Amino acid sequence: MSTTTAAPDATARTGRLRTGFRSLLDAAVTPLSVDDLLDHFAPLRTGAAAGLQGRIVSVHKETADAATLVIKPGKDWAGHIPGQYVRVGVDVDGVRLWRTYSLTHGPRRDGQISITVKAIPDGAVSQHLVREARAGQMIQLAQAEGDFVLTPPVAGRTHKLLLVTAGSGITPVIGMLRNLYSRNEASVEAARAAYDIVLVHSAMKRDEVIFGAELRAHAAAGRLRLVERHTDTDGLLTTADLETEVPDLAERTAYACGPAGLLDTLEAFYDERRLTLHTERFRPTVVDVDAEGGTLTFAGAAATTVETDGSVPILDAAESAGVLMPSGCRMGICMGCVLPMKSGAVRDLRTGELTVAVPGETHPDGVKIQTCISAAAGDCTLDH
């Protein structure tokens, strides 16, 4: 019996040739690399060295201070479920900042995704996206996350839903509604039979209702019952109002998204009645605690010190000082902002709980903290 090693040798030679050719190409484009050039000319390609990116296709205004961005994501985009959110990275004044926005559409045939952003005072990213973003601009993306999604209906039964939203809290819900009602006629009729939806939405004024015309059109077509409240004339929504408007709320699967005050009130109301409420928060609930603040020292590549008080998340304080920070949901959920603290103490802004790192007593690599929900409780040193 005889054997041959020609094929393995040929494979090895091919591999060496490819490696050598790649080295020659890299040398030819120094100080750039071939990956740099590919990312420049084909940034949406699979396996791009710069990571998952998206190209803004269009920007259109929803209200005076809100805009929808339609984005073509890179080929590594894994898709999403309506109601989920995406982390978006934007370069503002030379600093890459990450924020989280709900996806405002179901999966589309063209593969594009959309987010709707409301500009907030002093919001560097939201102001940039609403006022300055243009078609053709590249942004960084993460994969979709979140479990604020509709439970699939049981065949042959009508699933009763209550959706309570306020302000930009409508954004994950519009994605759900568009997925149900923006397809072919047969799918729309099936959705109408499967779901009995009541939507209670609050905004300051009628002309500040994001997606107002679309929501009213759904109501006029009988796809949902819309309870629209304008706080300039109707006042803030109370639980008594909710019980009056939706007397069968105990029979409905409830979802809520909006300002912290609204969600806190609804959660207490539902807990008292031992009912289930699904919520989506854009910011964590912060407790009022006494905190000293102090000096943040970034001992790694950042090599920066930042003075901060005890009420500001470390992530926000660092970004305001120009430190490029890892981040994600900014709500204490995704763990994208975790850094090791070598020494010092921080306080959890949601619970008031202290976390302490003592050199020589805690782990040599430090204590991992979430910078988006932790504030300095004295001087502390982070490895970054």
Which residues partner with 341 through β-bridges? 367, 382
How is residue 153 written in tokens? 């209906």
Q: Is the pLDDT score of 241 beyond 50?
A: yes
Out of 3.10.20.30, 3.40.50.1220, 3.40.190.10, 3.40.50.180, which CATH number does the structure's domain 294-382 have? 3.10.20.30
pTM for the whole structure: 0.71
Q: What pLDDT was estimated at residue 148?
A: 96
The 10s digit of each residue's pLDDT in 188-233 is: 888 888 999 999 999 999 999 999 999 999 999 999 999 999 999 9
Indicate the class that CATH gives domain 159-280.
alpha beta
Q: Is the pLDDT score of 290 beyond 70?
A: no
CB 96 within 8 A of CB 90: yes
Q: Which residue has the higher pLDDT, 49 or 117?
A: 117
CB 99 within 8 A of CB 126: yes
The 10s digit of each residue's pLDDT in 357-383 is: 877 666 778 888 999 999 998 899 998
How is residue 49 written in tokens? 């060295």
Q: What pLDDT was estimated at residue 83?
A: 96
Q: What pLDDT was estimated at residue 122?
A: 78
Report, as an integer, the average pLDDT of 298-302. Answer: 75
Spatial separation of the C-alpha atoms in residues 272 and 357, rounded to whole Å: 38
Q: What pLDDT was estimated at residue 200?
A: 98
- Greatest mean pLDDT range, 148-157, 241-250, 285-294, 356-365: 241-250
Distance set, CA 250 to CA 154, 194, 279 (Å): 19, 19, 16
Q: Which residue has the higher pLDDT, 161 or 281?
A: 161
Spatial separation of the C-alpha atoms in residues 149 and 77, rounded to whole Å: 19
* Nearest one of 76, 78, 130 to 101, comparing CA atoms: 130
Q: What pLDDT was estimated at residue 137?
A: 96
| Start-to-end C-alpha separation, the chain | 61
Report, as an integer, the average pLDDT of 117-140. Answer: 92
Q: What pLDDT was estimated at residue 6?
A: 47
Q: Which residue has the higher pLDDT, 30 or 299?
A: 299
Q: Which secondary-structure segment (H or E) carries 63?
A: strand 53-63
- CA 82 to chain CA centroid, nearest Å: 13
Spatial separation of the C-alpha atoms in residues 159 and 228, rounded to whole Å: 22
Q: Can you spell out the DSSP letters for 69-100? A: EEEEE-TT-----TT-EEEEEEEETTEEEEEE
Report, as an integer, the average pLDDT of 286-311. Answer: 76
Q: β-strands 113-118, 66-73: how paired?
A: antiparallel
Residue 5 — very low, low, confident or very high, per pLDDT cuts 50/70/90?
very low
Indicate the class that CATH gives domain 53-141.
mainly beta
Mean pLDDT, rounded, of the chain: 86
The 10s digit of each residue's pLDDT in 317-346 is: 998 888 888 888 888 888 889 999 998 889
Q: Is the pLDDT score of 166 beyond 80?
A: yes
Q: Which residue has the higher pLDDT, 319 or 21?
A: 319
Q: Where are the domains positioned within the chain?
A: 15-49, 53-141, 159-280, 294-382
In the chain, the amino acid numbered 207 is D
Q: Is the pLDDT score of 284 beyond 60?
A: no
